[in-house]
């Protein structure tokens, strides 16, 4: 158990890069808010010495400012900046700052810390519940949700707990406050019929691979969007989950997954592997699910959520959250006999208890099966529904066809009752449009012919571009040489042998043997020395 540092001596922590960071309050601005400075060092002892010198140079400002009668807003800000912020992820920092600077400080900031009472806090929570919302009041009303009120309370209570530890106040007035009831979010699971309609519609919309993979693995949204082709081993049938994507203030950021248990390797079903073998043929960048707008960028969480809602509506399914697809996967796995320990590992949970508490749902099929088992146990016959509707619940369902096809997939027109035309019109390297057509008697046959046409024209276009750039065709390369060639073609700036070996799925020795030859073939120049 680490000992708590004395008040007024700053804070010291070890960063992820191995260095030590010391932080201390060095003054206050015109609003009375604290200003901090930090020092960096290779060792803890060196960091302590630098921090001591820093505090000696600016004087012991903190001891003068941190007092019992200071405004509560100043204390909350100091508590957040000093004790909390450095250990939070960017998304969590944004949540904390919204609660503190938009709600807590404007309402309670002027009350002296030692004079803050439970009544003040109770009135603050009532205000939030009645008219605390600052934006989108026309859509959601003036009051904040019960969850937001409880979050603001949690920040106030934690800050006041720290004030008690610093001997600034004797008791925590937040303890004992009456709060809105804690309501768990209703988790919904798609039924078997809804799931089938959903996947049929996703295929028609062009997002079949995205939703199929999530329903086959139960990945979190950020984990799914962060996947790259280097994470997928089609030969071994495995998927490595090592990172996640999240959005903060409109900017995409990549980090490690939520917990250590979230870093995992999953085995994919054979049918899913075959789907992605075909999907790989259309890949044009390193991301498994690239953005249709930005080059070399993944699909954003917002656009994926919008696509989910559109697909659910067209498939005549209930509107659910994206996270509910994860619940659907967990429930399907349990219905089909997967043990809870294996399911917990696949979901990336630290403990199987989390899986049992949150991700298990009693579905209608489970209840029906349980009732049937009881009936059989009593010696009764269970009547089975043999009607055509029961045998084929999707007989009357037809997916809504996309009005706008995905870029790079061409277009299909129905010329008459028995003839379909497929057209692909890519831009050639010289800037001209080259258009070719295929014809078939059915839409499915036309789709297949158009797919082959697109592959042929893209290969022809790529060959022209390679000749223009002086790139030699890799037709005579061995399998391992071709793997290195493909990787360096996508990442020409990469020089680390180990990184190339992981990405190309070869050994480091093989990379070292063929690196220079492949680089010359690709015309890569002015590279730094390989590591």
pLDDT at 385 over 70: no
Strand segments, DSSP code E, in 185-327 are: 232-233, 238-241, 244-248, 251-255, 264-267
Which residues lie below 8 Å from residue 256, measured CB to CB, with a gap of 6+?
A: 242, 243, 244, 263
Q: What band does 529 get if pLDDT is binned at 50, 70 and 90?
A: very low
The reported pLDDT for the residue numbered 376 is: 60
SS3 at position 324: helix
The reported pLDDT for the residue numbered 60 is: 47
The reported pLDDT for the residue numbered 62 is: 46
CA 273 vs CA 237, 295, 337: distances in Å: 6, 26, 22
With a pLDDT cut of 70, the percent of the chain lying above it is: 83
> Does the fold of domain 192-364 match that of domain 11-165?
no
Q: How far apart are CA 254 and CA 247, in angstroms?
A: 9
User: Could you say which DSSP state residue 136 is in?
Assistant: -
For residues 488 and 523, is the Cβ–Cβ distance under 8 A?
no
Q: What band does 347 get if pLDDT is binned at 50, 70 and 90?
A: confident
For residues 495 and 488, is the Cβ–Cβ distance under 8 A?
no
What global pTM score does this model have?
0.59
Q: What band does 246 get if pLDDT is binned at 50, 70 and 90?
A: confident
Q: What band does 139 get if pLDDT is binned at 50, 70 and 90?
A: confident
pLDDT at 499 over 90: no
For residues 287 and 270, is the Cβ–Cβ distance under 8 A?
no
Helix orientation angle between 118-131 and 146-165, rounded to the nearest 10 degrees = 160
The reported pLDDT for the residue numbered 66 is: 80
Residue 254, beta-bridge partner list: 245
Our separate counts of H helices and E strands in the chain read 22, 11
Q: How far apart are CA 261 and CA 347, in angstroms?
A: 9
The reported pLDDT for the residue numbered 23 is: 86
Please name the helix (run of DSSP H) or strand (run of DSSP E) that holds residue 127, with its range, or none. helix 118-131
Q: Which residue has the higher pLDDT, 34 or 500?
A: 500
The reported pLDDT for the residue numbered 96 is: 92
For residues 193 and 244, is the Cβ–Cβ distance under 8 A?
no
Q: What is the mean pLDDT of residues 350-371?
A: 65
pLDDT at 510 over 80: yes
What is the CATH topology of the domain spanning 192-364? hpI Integrase; Chain A (1.10.443)
Please name the helix (run of DSSP H) or strand (run of DSSP E) that holds residue 346, with its range, or none. helix 340-347
pLDDT at 360 over 80: no
Q: Which residue has the higher pLDDT, 418 or 391?
A: 418
Question: Domain extents for the chain?
Answer: 11-165, 192-364, 411-468, 479-522
Average pLDDT over the chain, rounded to an integer = 82
Q: How confident is the model over 40-98, as pLDDT tens digits? A: 998 988 988 888 888 777 654 444 568 888 999 999 999 999 888 887 888 888 889 99
Helix orientation angle between 192-205 and 208-217, rounded to the nearest 10 degrees = 150
For residues 217 and 239, is the Cβ–Cβ distance under 8 A?
yes
Q: How far apart are CA 353 and CA 350, in angstroms?
A: 9
The residue among 116, 141, 139 whose CA lies nearest residue 128 is: 141
CA 245 vs CA 94, 220, 233, 256, 349: distances in Å: 16, 10, 21, 9, 18
SS3 at position 137: helix
Q: What band does 368 get if pLDDT is binned at 50, 70 and 90?
A: low
Please name the helix (run of DSSP H) or strand (run of DSSP E) that holds residue 128, with its range, or none. helix 118-131
**DSSP-assigned states of every residue in 454-510:** HHHHHHHHHHHHHHHTTPPP-TT--HHHHHHHHHHHH-TT---HHHHHHHHTS-HHH
For domain 11-165, the CATH architecture is Orthogonal Bundle (1.10)
Rounded to 5 degrees, φ, ψ at 130 are -90, -45
Q: What band does 26 get if pLDDT is binned at 50, 70 and 90?
A: confident
Q: How far apart are CA 511 and CA 488, in angstroms?
A: 11
Q: What is the mean pLDDT of residues 187-203?
A: 88
Least confidently predicted of 100-114, 258-272, 448-462, 471-485: 471-485
């Amino acid at each position: 158990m680490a000992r708590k540092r004395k008040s007024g001596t700053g804070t010291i922590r070890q960063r992820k890069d191995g260095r030590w960071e010391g932080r201390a309050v060095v003054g206050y601005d015109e609003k009375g808010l604290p200003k901090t400075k930090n020092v960096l060092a290779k060792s803890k002892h060196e960091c302590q010495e630098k921090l001591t010198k820093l505090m000696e140079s600016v004087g012991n400002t903190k001891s003068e400012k941190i007092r019992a009668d200071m405004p509560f807003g100043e204390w909350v800000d100091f508590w957040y900046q000093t004790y909390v912020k450095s250990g939070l992820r960017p998304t969590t920092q944004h949540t904390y700052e919204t609660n503190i600077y938009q709600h807590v400080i404007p309402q309670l900031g002027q009350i002296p810390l030692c004079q803050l009472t439970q009544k003040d806090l109770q009135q603050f929570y009532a205000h939030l519940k009645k008219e605390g919302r600052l934006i989108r009041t026309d859509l959601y009303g003036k009051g904040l949700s019960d969850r937001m009120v409880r979050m603001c309370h949690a920040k106030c209570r934690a800050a006041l707990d720290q004030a008690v530890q610093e001997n600034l106040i004797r008791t925590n007035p937040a303890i004992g406050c009456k709060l809105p009831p804690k309501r768990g979010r209703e988790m919904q699971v798609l039924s078997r019929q809804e799931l089938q309609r959903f996947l049929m519609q996703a295929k028609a919309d062009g997002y079949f691979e995205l939703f199929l993979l999530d329903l086959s693995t139960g990945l979190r949204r950020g984990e799914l969007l962060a996947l790259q082709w280097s994470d997928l081993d089609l030969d071994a049938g495995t998927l490595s989950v090592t990172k996640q994507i999240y959005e903060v203030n409109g900017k995409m950021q990549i980090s490690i997954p939520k917990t250590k248990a979230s870093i995992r390797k999953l085995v994919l079903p054979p049918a899913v592997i075959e789907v992605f073998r075909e999907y790989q043929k259309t890949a044009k960048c390193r991301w498994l699910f690239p953005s249709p707008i930005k080059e070399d960028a993944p699909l954003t969480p917002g656009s994926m959520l919008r696509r989910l809602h559109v697909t659910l509506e067209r498939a005549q399914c209930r509107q659910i959250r994206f996270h509910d697809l994860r619940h659907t996967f967990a429930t399907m796995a349990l219905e089909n006999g997967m043990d809870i320990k294996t399911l917990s590992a696949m979901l990336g949970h630290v403990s199987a208890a989390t899986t049992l508490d949150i991700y298990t749902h009693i579905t209608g099929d489970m209840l029906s099966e349980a009732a049937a088992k009881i009936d059989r146990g009593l010696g009764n016959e269970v009547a089975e529904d043999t009607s055509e509707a029961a045998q084929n619940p999707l007989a009357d369902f037809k997916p809504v066809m996309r009005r706008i096809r995905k870029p790079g997939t061409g277009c299909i027109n129905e010329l008459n009752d028995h003839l379909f035309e497929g057209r692909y019109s890519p831009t050639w390297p010289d800037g001209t449009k080259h258009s070719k057509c295929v014809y078939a008697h059915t839409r499915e046959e036309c789709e297949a012919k158009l797919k082959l046409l697109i592959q042929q024209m893209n290969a022809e276009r790529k060959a022209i571009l390679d000749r223009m750039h002086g790139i030699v065709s890799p037709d005579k390369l061995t399998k391992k040489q071709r793997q290195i060639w493909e990787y360096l073609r996508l990442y020409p700036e990469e020089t680390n042998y180990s990184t190339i070996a992981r990405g190309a799925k070869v050994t480091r020795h093989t990379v070292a043997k063929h690196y220079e030859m492949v680089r010359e073939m690709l015309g890569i120049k002015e590279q730094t020395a390989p590591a």
